[in-house]
């Protein structure tokens, strides 16, 4: 079997489709498209740490940028609130070198799995 | 790499290039023959005339048993096409329960169907309700807006 590679735009449309249908998205995260640019660059996200987490009671709002090379490379994820977390750079973006899920990024990873891993990483 | 699906896509592309349909051009991506860029001229005598609309098509894992995915990259004002360029058309509906695709349909015939959707918007099965209601209540005004956006985005 030859490998079928889903190109960037259709991959992001699939991800959007999941959100729009509300298919089994865990309640600890949410995400969606930030504007109606057909090139699907800008997304927003939210981390809602569960009661068992030391971050319980906080909600983290995120800006997510999927560049032209996504999903060959991870999205850029920026925390909107002023939080101090060791894996953020000065612009409050997740530093891919300090977040193993981004450092070892795979094409099949998605915005959704990234947010879930991020939540696990801070918990 | 030469699965039956790939062979079929190659054959369809060869035919579309040697015998182009209605000014439609179809170009596969250099690194992915399943991923096509299409330039579709707006049909003559419609509010899309003169426009050159860019679309992208992906013949996924299920092709040709399942339809390609297809959407407009050029913004277009049409009741069956949404702001992200997604198209509501029975032969390419991604919901298997509603989809009228059969493997006998080819990429070329799909593109002709999309072109005829531009000639005959279907306001009874809209994707963008706001545009559809504009079409139902003020057809002339809606067509003028479509013509304006064609000039603005689809040169």
Query: Half-sphere exposure (CA, 13 Å, Cβ side) for A98?
Result: 11
Give residue-wise pLDDT tens across range B16-64: 988 889 899 999 999 999 999 999 999 999 999 999 999 999 999 999 9
Q: What's the pLDDT score for residue A50?
A: 86
Q: What is the CA radius of gyration of chain A?
A: 14
Tell me the two tokens of residue A42: 């800008």
At B125 the pLDDT is: 86
Tell whether A40 is within 8 A of chain B (Cβ): yes
Chain A residues with beta carbon closer than 8 angstroms to that of B83: 36, 38
Residue extents of the structural domains in chain B: 4-153
Question: Which pLDDT belongs to residue A57?
Answer: 86
Question: What domains can you pick out in chain A, each with its CATH number?
Answer: 8-122 (3.10.110.10)
> How far, in whole angstroms, is CA B15 from its chain's centroid?
18
DSSP B118: H
Which of B3, B29, B72 lies closest to A2 in CB terms? B3
What CATH homologous superfamily does B4-153 map to? Ubiquitin Conjugating Enzyme (3.10.110.10)
Model confidence over A83-108: pLDDT tens digits?
888 999 999 999 999 999 999 999 99
Residue in chain B closest to A40 (alpha carbons) equals: B84
The whole model's pTM is what? 0.92
The alpha-carbon gap from B71 to the nearest alpha carbon of chain A, in Å, equals 9
Residues of chain A with pLDDT under 70: 1-2
């Amino acid at each position: 079997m030859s490998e079928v590679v889903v190109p960037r735009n259709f991959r992001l449309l699939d991800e959007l489709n999941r959100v729009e249908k509300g298919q089994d998205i865990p309640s600890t995260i949410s995400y969606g498209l930030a504007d109606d640019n057909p090139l699907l660059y800008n997304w927003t996200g939210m981390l809602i740490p569960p009661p068992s987490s030391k971050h319980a009671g906080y909600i983290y709002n995120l800006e997510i940028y999927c560049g032209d090379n996504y999903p060959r490379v991870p999205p850029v994820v920026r925390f909107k609130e002023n939080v101090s977390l060791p894996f953020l750079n000065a612009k409050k973006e997740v530093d891919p070198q300090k977040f193993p899920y981004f450092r070892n990024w795979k094409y099949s990873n998605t915005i959704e799995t990234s947010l879930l891993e991020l939540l696990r990483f801070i918990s | 790499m030469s699965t039956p699906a790939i062979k079929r896509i190659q054959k369809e592309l060869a035919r579309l290039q040697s015998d182009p349909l209605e000014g439609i051009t179809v170009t596969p991506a250099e690194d992915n023959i399943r991923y096509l860029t299409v330039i579709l001229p707006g049909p003559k005598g419609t509010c899309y005339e003169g426009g050159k609309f860019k679309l992208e098509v992906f013949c996924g894992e299920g092709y040709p048993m399942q339809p390609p995915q297809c959407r407009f990259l050029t913004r277009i004002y049409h009741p069956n096409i949404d702001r992200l360029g997604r198209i509501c058309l029975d032969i390419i509906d991604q919901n298997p329960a509603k989809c009228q695709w059969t493997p006998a349909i080819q990429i070329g015939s799909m593109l002709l169907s999309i072109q005829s959707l531009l000639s005959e918007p279907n306001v009874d099965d809209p994707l963008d309700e706001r545009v559809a209601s504009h079409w139902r209540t003020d057809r002339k005004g809606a067509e003028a807006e479509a013509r304006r956006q064609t000039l603005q985005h689809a040169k």
